[in-house]
């Protein structure tokens, strides 16, 4: 009986060691994937920062003004002046009353009705 108990104990220790070994490699693989994703995320952030800088460079007011001047014959773009803007009092807003619902409205998302 003792021999069977020792054999089962040894087999359970071997099984647990095998499980721990596999879990160790699974964890290392997950950590490697996480590290790779962090590297890709950093590269994506660098690309985004570069694109934002290029966008800011291309949208400089002096550059846009020069482009508008070069393409005036085709586009007929004029420079903005302060008198082209309206005052807040000139904006017409919808009435404050809004829509009123007199009865019950049934809404259905069933197709074919």
Q: Considering the entire predicted model, what is its pTM?
A: 0.51
What does the alpha-carbon distance between residue 86 and residue 34 come to, in Å, rounded to a whole number? 54
Residue 45 resides in a domain: yes
Q: What is the pLDDT of residue 65?
A: 86
Q: Is the pLDDT of residue 103 over 80?
A: no
pLDDT in tens, 64-90: 889 988 988 898 887 778 888 888 888
Q: What is the pLDDT of residue 112?
A: 54
User: How many structural domains comprise the chain?
Assistant: 1
DSSP per residue, 3-66: HHHHHHHHHHHHHHHHHHHHHHHHHHHHHHHHHHHHHHHHHHHHHHHHHHHHHHHHT-HHHHHH
Quick check: 46 and 40 in contact, CB under 8 A?
no
Residue 87 resides in a domain: no
Half-sphere exposure of 82 (CA within 13 A, CB side): 0
Q: Which residues form the domain of 35?
A: 12-79
Q: What is the pLDDT of residue 98?
A: 67
């Amino acid at each position: 009986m003792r021999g069977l108990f020792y054999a089962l104990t040894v087999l359970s220790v071997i099984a647990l060691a095998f499980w721990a070994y596999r879990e160790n490699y699974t964890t290392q693989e997950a950590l490697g994937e996480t590290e790779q994703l962090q590297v890709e995320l950093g590269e994506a952030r660098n690309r985004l920062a570069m694109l934002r800088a290029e966008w800011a460079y291309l949208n400089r007011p002096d550059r846009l003004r020069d482009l508008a001047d070069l393409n005036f014959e085709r586009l007929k773009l004029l420079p903005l002046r302060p008198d082209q803007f309206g005052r807040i009092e000139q904006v017409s807003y919808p009435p404050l009353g809004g829509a009123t619902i007199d009865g019950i409205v049934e809404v259905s998302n069933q197709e074919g009705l």
